[in-house]
Amino acid sequence: MLGLQRALSIIYPTQCVLCAAQVDQDGGLCGACWRETPFINGLACDACGAPLPGFEKGRAHCDDCMITPRPWEAGRAAFLYESNGRRITLALKHGDRTDLAKPAALWLQQAGRDILTEGTLLVPVPVHWSRLLRRRYNQSAEISRALSKVTGLSACQNALIRTKRTTTQNGLTVAQRQANLDGAIVANPKCYQSLEGQKVCLIDDVMTSGATLTACTAAAFEAGADQVFVMVLARVTKTL
């Protein structure tokens, strides 16, 4: 078997998921691309995963999360929405690169190792069906499916549904974003049982203002979820 793998790796050398460079591990980044990916490793905001200056231990919060307290328990992000962090996120969202869901899941598993505890139900942030028709897949569902595979945690792909087609959130204030989403995301009536009393972890590709995740949290609580956590691949921050 090893011999076969070696032979295959000669014919199909493992490539960096961003460039064509040869790498040792499947689904990984080469050294150069890794260095250009702003992974969040140090002290981070407990609510959204944004990096914070300093090294103190304990629960700290970024300015955004102090101004807008989050309805969820805690949140983690794998990297910043910058340079390769932005490239990976956009490729997964618009570029048909669903193969990036697997490395994304491995990075999220690492970033969320303290919150992805046994019994946590993974729930992707939903997209409207009309967007599914156009793009064919929901990148957050792809990530949660892959994360379910690597962690062994259950994922409920249709636990939340988007009932309204919302216009773009770009350029709106936090209040406008929230108004735009009013009633747009609800728990799927067929999934109330799976959400009731559960520890839920919402999965999304990007967090900007947090308005979408706030609407999803409300919908999960509405369906009887016990606790809600959030995990995103990339966190957009204004300051960094």
Binding stretches for Zn ion (CB under 5 A): 16, 18-19, 21, 30, 33, 45, 47-48, 50, 62, 65
Chain-centroid distance, C-alpha 12: 30
Nearer to Zn ion (CB atom), residue 1 or residue 12:
12
Instruction: Please report how close the Cβ of residue 230 comes to Zn ion at its closest, in angstroms.
Output: 11
| CA separation for the pair 220, 26 (Å, rounded) | 35
Nearer to Zn ion (CB atom), residue 77 or residue 218:
77
**Closest listed residue to residue 34, CA positions, set 25, 42, 46, 43:** 25
Instruction: Please report how close the Cβ of residue 66 comes to Zn ion at its closest, in angstroms.
Output: 8
Cβ(66)–Cβ(110) below 8 Å: no
Instruction: Please report how close the Cβ of residue 32 comes to Zn ion at its closest, in angstroms.
Output: 6
The token pair at 55 is 């090294």
Instruction: Please report how close the Cβ of residue 103 comes to Zn ion at its closest, in angstroms.
Output: 12
Burial of 52 from C-beta contacts in 10 A (0-12 / 13-18 / 19+): middle
The token pair at 194 is 């799976």
Nearer to Zn ion (CB atom), residue 47 or residue 153:
47
Nearer to Zn ion (CB atom), residue 69 or residue 119:
69
Cβ(234)–Cβ(80) below 8 Å: yes
